[in-house]
Amino acid sequence: MTNWTAATILALAPDSSSASSGKGLSSRKSWLTIARQGDILWGECQGSGKHPYQTRLDATAAEPVFKCTCPSRKFPCKHGLGLFLLFSSTPDQFTETPPPTWVAEWLEGRAGRAEKKAEKAVEAATKPPDPKAAEKRSAARDKKVRAGLEELSLWTSDLVRGGIAGVQSKGYAHWESMAARLVDAQAPTLARAVRGIPTLLTRTDWQAKLLEELGRLHLTIQAYGKIETLPEAVQADVRGAIGYPVSTEDVLALSGTTDTWQVIAQSTESLDRIRARRTWLRGSITQASALILEFGVPQAPLSAGYAVGASVAGTLHFYPSNAPQRAIFSGEAIPAGQISTTTGSSIAANLERYAAALGRNPWLERTLFSIGDTTLQLAGLVSDSSGLSLPVDSRFAHAQLWHAVTGGHPATLHGEWNGQALLPLAVTLSDEHFNFAHLEDGA
């Protein structure tokens, strides 16, 4: 069983009310009976009805499975959460015993469904691919995307034609209706961009930011309209800007880059109920930068990930792009000790590399900067030994810790550059590597 804690169990709750009610049922007195067989748990809880609610839980997998006879439509219900919390705090109170009939029948039904699902998966895997069906699905999506982009083109044109002076007065529905249309058109990344416009309008420089975003949307529309004429790598970037998925199998089928990869920095952010973790790597031999992007939800938390300041040996396969950055490992990455040295280059050199990458992929959202001999200024700037400076992202809240770690001495800074500001993630001083971003995750 995964080492579940009260915090990780409560993260499974569908809402705060269920979490609170679950905690209220996490004592032994709330249950008429409780028992277990391995990682299969069950219990009977007396509710308002004549018969007690029968709650069962399978915690053998990374994502627990719940079942309860209560009328709640929430999943998991408060009884499932309460039973799981009780077990996590006092497992010795659960007697090891064969399951009763109502638990055994549930397990048999799940096993039967799992067997049928496995049979279908094997059948699908062994069934030769149907190129005509795949071509038909691709054509259907292309038709939806083009229709959505045509609407987006009219929408952005009307916005500009009417002047942007009154844009801030437009209600949420104005942006959400277009975003919803793009979701229907299977263009989720463009939908996310449209939903982000109201946030841009709260900035002091909102006019410039709005025009920049509208220009990027226009570029995407024009590029997709001529996608057949573009190089294959550029086509991949255009599809990525729209939201086309790329399967892991397709990425692993591409040639890989084998190296000892230094784990430079890591950051985690929450997007609604989804957590996104970005891990930045650099090849010791190739000096190539790579981004490992992972997502987690309450029912499937993020894995332990890679330790910042360490090195791992393995082969990375980069996602198709005209400026490759995101990558995945083929197989397990083997720990290779701590980073021996992590150097950076000047701000000018980093900006030059960024400009070249942006020229190859105009939709590049962020990239890794490693700047040597960096100092943090009180004015919210980072400067290098040449005197050049970059603005620090307003989300960075560890200036005092920076000065405490470095003692005011120049250090090598690693951070994410989005074209406007730098978000410091880690700093290297001599052979000591310190990661700021873990503090955002409550560590």
| pLDDT tens, residue by residue, 196-224 | 999 889 889 999 999 999 999 999 999 99
Q: Which residue has the tokens 């792009």?
A: 321
Which pLDDT value is given to residue 272?
62
pLDDT at 355 over 90: yes
Chain segment 166-199, per-residue pLDDT in tens:
898 888 889 999 999 999 999 999 999 999 999 8
pLDDT confidence bin for 61, thresholds 50/70/90: low
Report which secondary-structure segment, H or E, holds 34.
strand 33-37
Place 110 in a pLDDT band, splitting at 50, 70 and 90: confident
**Distance separating alpha carbons of residues 260 and 284, to the nearest angstrom:** 6
Please tell me the predicted confidence (pLDDT) of residue 1: 54
Environment class of 337 (CB within 10 Å of its CB; exposed 0-12, middle 13-18, buried 19+): exposed
**Torsions phi, psi of 337, nearest 5?**
85, -170
Q: What are the residue ranges of helices labelled H in 3-58?
A: 6-10, 16-24
Burial 419-438 (b: 16+ CB within 10 A, else e): eebbbbbbbbeeeebbbbbb
Read off the tokens for 344: 């950076």
- The DSSP letter of residue 168 is G
Confidence of residue 442 (pLDDT cuts 50, 70, 90): very low
Q: Cβ neighbours of residue 378 under 8 Å, at least 6 residues apart?
A: none
Return the bridge partners of 278, or none.
267, 293
Q: Per-domain residue ranges for the chain? A: 6-123, 131-242, 248-338, 347-441
- Asked whether residue 410 carries a pLDDT value surpassing 80, the answer given is yes
Dist CA 70 CA 78 (whole Å): 9
Under the banding of pLDDT at 50, 70 and 90, the label for residue 125 is low
Q: Which two tokens stand for residue 338?
A: 């701590």
Residue 343 has pLDDT above 90, yes or no: no
Contact 34, 42 (CB under 8 A): yes
**Cα dist. 326→43, 159, 341 in Å?**
46, 34, 23
Residues 126-170: tens digit of each pLDDT: 667 678 888 899 999 999 999 999 999 999 999 999 888 889 888
The fraction of the chain above a pLDDT of 90, given in percent, is 60
The pLDDT of residue 443: 37
Structure tokens at 111: 């096993």
pLDDT the model gives residue 273: 65
In this prediction the pTM is: 0.70
pLDDT tens for residues 269-321?
776 667 788 999 999 999 999 999 988 776 566 677 788 888 999 999 999 99
Give residues with Cβ within 8 angstroms of 237, minimum separation 6.
321, 322, 323, 361, 362, 363
The residues pairing with 66 across neighbouring beta strands, listed in sequence order, are 57
Residues in a beta bridge with 369: 415
* Residue 27, phi then psi, degrees to nearest 5: -110, 155
Averaged pLDDT of the chain: 89
State the pairing for strand pair 33-37/95-96: parallel
CB 343 within 8 Å of CB 370: yes
Question: How far is it, in rounded angstroms, from Cα 410 to Cα 374?
Answer: 5
Q: What fold, for 248-338?
A: OB fold (Dihydrolipoamide Acetyltransferase, E2P) (2.40.50)
Q: Please determine, for residue 86, whether its predicted confidence score (pLDDT) is greater than 90.
A: yes
Closest CA to 328 of 250, 240, 222: 250
> Do 188 and 182 form a contact (C-beta atoms < 8 A)?
yes
